[in-house]
């Protein structure tokens, strides 16, 4: 009887899972495994909100595996040590996993492959549509600009049909299980992974979501049935449920990008034949792909600027108080505070508002983008090394295809344009509930008596003065060359 290990990572699903399918073809018994690696360096560490999602997602995956005759074996430790030990004890025919592309995981996986020599470790493409190593320009250099990248990829979509979920997964026989009686290799309970916080702030946050593979499919179906036709018009309106909210499902691999693109395309063979809303939606999924390509090709950009001029950017020196006000949604700028409070309460923030709060942190407060990236990493349920770094570097102007630094979002105008009636601000900043629309995005302009009666802070910084300071700071680096090393 041949035994295979399927190591689940950011692919917490049974459908369209090539590692699982390959193992099923080659092995008679399957150990479905999750290893909680607490040892990963800071960049690999999962933030608090994501840990909560992970806890629930692993529980649901276990349930799905059990319904097919298997179960999830959970271990805590360093996979570089755990996997070879398991492989030896079980005398496995193969170890199977789906690839991740962030530098911390890539480095770790390289070590694991070496340590598993003789046990046939195989890794598969599952979390992206295409292999980053193969997605290069004609001159074999990596893309730094999205539009040509998109034009190149769109002709290749959907890029193959997704794999169906298996009907049955053969569990380990009792005899094989006995070999795992060693304390270190015995499965721990979900609670023993200690993913939930001690002080339970997470319950109201996670209650707003339906986690897991089944929920991801339902969400996609509902979005494609009801919302995608309006996506082009609605996707920038933060008070509207106009986007898919699939990002945490995609991050944890509860659904694959290939499943999404195939479902959107249906029988249509080209992206050009999709409706405009569908086309834009597929393009956004390819932005995610672009982000993963960037960190694969430029691994240092997870925490360092791609544009090397920014290494010398004159950031503010002491910014602890301003950073806390931003994190807590107490800057006195309504659209910023609404976004930061939405983030804390739900583990998610609308894309338009992510861009606005990022611009405010970087350009109005002159706080290094890495601080914002870190806070998002801890508080987002979709926190993703690649998309987060790209989003922050885009806002800073230091990344690939980024907004130029001199384009500073005016949060009042952004609010007036995308939250015209103030619905989003009133939802998240109830102190401003009765402020008239005319002042909802600039309550500091209310008549003094009305202003005084509000329990809401004055603006942390003057928007015009701070914008000017940002432009002056930028002028100190702009003449240097962009990609020195």
Catalytic position from the list 152, 194, 263, 287: 287
Q: Which one among 120, 194, 263, 284 touches ligand FAD, defined by CB under 6 A?
A: 284
Q: Which residue is nearest to ligand FAD (CB)?
A: 391
Angle ∠(354,355,358) on CA atoms, nearest 5 = 80
Catalytic position from the list 315, 410, 416, 431: 315
Contact between 431 and 455 (Cβ < 8 Å): yes
Q: Which stretch binds ligand FAD (CB under 6 A): 179-187, 196-204, 243-251, 408-416?
A: 243-251
Contact between 49 and 205 (Cβ < 8 Å): yes
Using a 10 angstrom Cβ sphere, with 0-12 exposed, 13-18 middle and 19 or more buried, the burial of residue 234 is middle
By CB under 6 A, residue 97 contacts ligand FAD: no
Nearest to 27 by CA among 122, 160, 145, 132: 122
Catalytic position from the list 53, 326, 392, 394: 392
315 is catalytic: yes
Measured in degrees and rounded to the nearest 5, phi and psi for residue 411 equal -65, -25
97 is catalytic: no
Q: Could you give the CA distance from residue 460 to residue 337 in angstroms, rounded to a whole number?
A: 11
Minimum distance from CB of 216 to ligand FAD (Å)?
A: 10
351 is catalytic: yes
Name the token pair of 93. 């025919």
Q: Which one among 358, 367, 402, 440 touches ligand FAD, defined by CB under 6 A?
A: 358
Minimum distance from CB of 247 to ligand FAD (Å)?
A: 3
Nearest to 35 by CA among 91, 80, 100: 80
Q: Which one among 327, 388, 398, 466 touches ligand FAD, defined by CB under 6 A?
A: 388
By beta-carbon proximity to ligand FAD, the closer residue of 89 and 210 is 210
Q: Which 244-283 residues touch ligand FAD, going by CB under 6 A?
A: 244-247, 250-251
Q: Could you give the CA distance from residue 309 to residue 24 in angstroms, rounded to a whole number?
A: 50
Which residues, including other chains, have CB under 8 Å from residue 304's CB and lie 6 or more apart?
A: 311
By CB under 6 A, residue 291 contacts ligand FAD: yes
By CB under 6 A, residue 150 contacts ligand FAD: no
Minimum distance from CB of 339 to ligand FAD (Å)?
A: 10
CA separation, residue 176 to residues 27, 28, 75, 307 (Å): 13, 12, 17, 53
Q: Could you give the CA distance from residue 15 to residue 126 in angstroms, rounded to a whole number?
A: 11
Active site residues: 284, 287, 315, 351, 369, 392
List of residues contacting ligand FAD (CB under 6 A): 235, 243-247, 250-251, 284-285, 287-288, 291, 351, 354-355, 358, 376, 380, 382-384, 387-388, 390-392, 395
């Amino acid at each position: 009887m041949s035994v295979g290990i399927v190591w689940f990572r950011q692919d917490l699903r049974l459908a369209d899972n090539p590692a699982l399918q390959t193992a099923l073809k080659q092995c008679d018994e399957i150990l479905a495994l999750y290893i909680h690696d607490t040892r990963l360096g800071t960049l690999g560490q999962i933030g608090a909100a994501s840990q909560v999602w992970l806890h629930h997602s692993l529980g649901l995956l276990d349930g799905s595996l059990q319904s097919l005759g298997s179960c999830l074996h959970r271990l805590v430790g360093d996979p570089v040590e755990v996997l070879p030990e398991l492989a030896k004890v079980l005398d496995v025919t193969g170890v199977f996993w789906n690839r991740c592309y962030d530098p911390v995981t890539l480095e770790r996986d390289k070590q694991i492959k070496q340590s598993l020599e003789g046990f046939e470790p195989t890794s598969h493409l599952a979390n992206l549509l295409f292999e980053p190593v193969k997605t290069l320009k004609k001159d074999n250099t990596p893309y730094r600009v999205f539009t040509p990248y998109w034009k190149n990829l769109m002709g290749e979509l959907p890029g193959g049909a997704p794999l169906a979920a298996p009907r049955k997964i053969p569990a380990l026989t009792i005899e094989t299980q006995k070999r795992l009686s060693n304390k270190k290799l015995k499965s721990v309970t979900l609670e023993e992974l200690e993913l939930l916080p001690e002080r339970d702030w997470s319950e109201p946050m996670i209650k707003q979501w339906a986690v897991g593979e089944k929920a991801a499919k339902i969400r996609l179906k509902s979005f494609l049935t009801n919302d995608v036709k309006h996506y082009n018009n609605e996707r920038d309106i933060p008070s509207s449920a106009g986007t898919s909210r699939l990002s945490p499902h995609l991050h944890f691999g509860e659904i694959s990008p290939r499943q999404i693109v195939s479902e959107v395309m249906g029988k249509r063979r080209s992206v050009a034949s999709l409706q405009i809303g569908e086309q834009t939606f597929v393009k956004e999924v390819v932005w995610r792909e672009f982000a993963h390509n960037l960190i694969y090709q430029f691994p240092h950009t997870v925490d360092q600027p791609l544009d090397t001029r920014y290494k010398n950017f004159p950031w503010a020196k002491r910014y602890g108080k301003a950073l806390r006000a931003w994190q807590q949604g107490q800057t006195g700028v309504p659209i910023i505070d609404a976004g930061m409070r939405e983030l804390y309460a739900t583990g998610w923030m609308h894309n338009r508002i992510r861009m606005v709060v990022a611009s405010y942190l970087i350009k109005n407060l002159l706080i290094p983008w890495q601080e914002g990236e870190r806070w998002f990493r801890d508080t987002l349920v979709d926190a993703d090394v690649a998309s987060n770094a790209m989003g922050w570097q885009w806002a800073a102007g230091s990344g690939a295809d980024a907004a130029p630094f001199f384009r500073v979002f005016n949060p009042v105008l952004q609010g007036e344009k995308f939250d015209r009636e103030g619905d989003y601000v009133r939802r998240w900043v109830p102190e401003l509930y009765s402020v008239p629309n005319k002042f909802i995005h600039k309550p500091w302009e209310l008549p003094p008596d009305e202003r005084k009666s509000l329990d809401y802070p004055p603006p942390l910084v003057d928007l015009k003065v701070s914008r000017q300071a940002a432009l002056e700071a930028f002028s100190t680096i702009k003449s240097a060359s962009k990609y020195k090393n």
